[in-house]
Structure 1
Amino acid sequence: MTTPTRRRKKAAPKTFKAAYDILKTNAAELQQQDEPDIDNLMTTVEESIAAYRVCETRINAVQQALDAAFAEEEKTETNDL
């Protein structure tokens, strides 16, 4: 009887791209499984949550920067009138 190999939890990703790649990889792995890999499920979920948080934080930061840029642009256009 073979012992299942457990994946080691990876460090949280630092960039949006790295986090997004983790989410894509984990989603694909879960979709391809005929039977759930219970031995690695918690590791997969924990990695995915950490990756999601990185993506969410980055998206929120970009949204805030865009909002500020558009607000500044509107203010400049209003002052030019």
Structure 2
Amino acid sequence: MTTSFREAYGMLQRHAETLRTQDEPNIDDLLTIVTESVSAYKVCKQRIDAVEEALKAALDGAGVEVPPSPAAPAPAPAPQTTTPAPARARGRASQTAAPAASFDDMDDDIPF
């Protein structure tokens, strides 16, 4: 059984490379690769979870707000409504400097 994160992660990398580069699937080795990969994944996951908990505890003790874990579902964004930009008056000279061109200003130049 793999006990360190480095060993487990290395095993996952080797198995992924083996699966990526093989020309024909080797069914005889597939069960071994999957079993070892699942065990290695569990070791990595346990180590990552332990580090996240330790960091959270350390930051909480320092009074730093910890953002939610990436595994936690993010709240759905609020639906955005767009309102058309107000139409600009044509033929009027502006008393101030002209604003930078935007895509709204280019609508009249589209030939279709």
Between structures 1 and 2, the one with greater helix share: 1
For residue 24 of structure 1, report the CA deviation from its aligned partner. 0.2
Q: Which has the larger radius of gyration?
A: 2
Q: What corresponds to 2:18 in structure 1?
A: 29
Write out per-residue CA displacement over residues 4-32 of structure 1, whole angstroms, 9 at most, x where no aligned residue. xxxxxxxx210000000000000000001
Unaligned runs of 5+ in 2: 65-112
Q: Which has the higher contact order (CA 8 A, sep 6+)?
A: 1
TM-score for the superposition, normalised by structure 1: 0.77
What root-mean-square deviation, in Å, do the aligned CA atoms of Structure 1 and Structure 2 show?
Answer: 1.0
Gaps of 5+ in 1: 1-11, 76-81
The structure 1 segments of at least 4 consecutive aligned residues displaced by more than 4 Å after TM superposition are none
Q: Which residue of 2 aligns with 1:3?
A: none
Partners of 1:49 and 1:40 in 2: how far apart?
Answer: 14
Identity of counterpart residues, as a percentage? 45
Structure 1 equivalent of residue 4 of structure 2? 15
